[in-house]
Chains A and B, each alone.
Chain A
């Protein structure tokens, strides 16, 4: 798992940066809101810095493009996840 605390070079090198803005997601404290957005259902295309939480169906966003092995957290449902690749798409898998 790519942990940004342990391996910051691996997490930041050659990755596209994203300037996140608040999308109106209001289910977490203000300081975290821009890291999440509402999923609009099937057909909602995810960007390179986004994955869908399989537990609560909220879109998790990162300030950098994501890669398989990255660790992300879903605060609305308190879940730790790892990014994986499935059929050429990034997905999030729950890590208990």
Chain B
């Protein structure tokens, strides 16, 4: 295998490389190879108290809501992606989101939930459902800037932050699943921030409209953050909201 210095690639070659399906295949092979539904199959489950189990199930149900939103949105966005490489990248994201939903549902079954889909409906966080509806409206309107902003910047940054914080305190099986999912989220989040950053440079007037969307959705995002933090008994400081989610919004020049 020939070594390649990535920093010596031209910008064009770099973008072509990281947006390719081939890059995705070789990247996920590194951390998903040998896993079974996203975790080491040699691990065995630990004992949970009734309340621990209850909180974990609620949290996993809400992860499923977020992943369903991302799966529906990213697949819908392929049809109006502004460039072929963006469409190819989104196709890898669709595969990732489908896998995330599958591994979380599988985890719910492992925890004794007989009908995970019914449980997801029953335990859904209302703020997250409103957020999902708004995202899918932007996709229906084929509004690329709003959809990429809400999904790949806001939703992905929120998921990345929460999954990383949860992985640090979760039982080994849930932690393994979350760690793998967070690695996928790095790509989705980075794609969104970079695509939107370039668009904002070319069309600065878009910022005003997206600022209104940030103001509308921020309360939903922050309320979801705090509800999940409460369920997981994690201090919101530990979630690193200011250093992750808000830092992303700030880098793109939006007010929070």
State the A residues within 8 Å of B (CB). Answer: 4-5, 26-35, 54-56, 58, 62-63, 70-80, 94, 96
Contact = CB atoms under 8 A, between A and B. Distances in A.
Given A27-B27, A30-B26, A55-B193, A73 B9 contact: yes
Contacts of A62: 7
B253 to A, nearest CB: 10
Interface of B: 1-11, 14-15, 17-19, 23, 26-27, 30-31, 160, 183, 186-187, 189-191, 193-194, 197-198, 200-201, 247-248, 251
B95 to A, nearest CB: 16
A4 B7 contact: yes
Contact of B190 (A29, A32, A71, A78): A78
B251 A27 contact: no
Given A55-B193, A94-B193, A27 B31 contact: yes
A54 B240 CA distance: 13
22 contacts: A5-B10, A29-B23, A29-B26, A29-B30, A30-B30, A31-B1, A33-B30, A55-B251, A56-B189, A70-B7, A73-B6, A75-B6, A75-B23, A76-B187, A76-B190, A77-B187, A79-B193, A80-B14, A80-B194, A94-B193, A94-B194, A94-B251
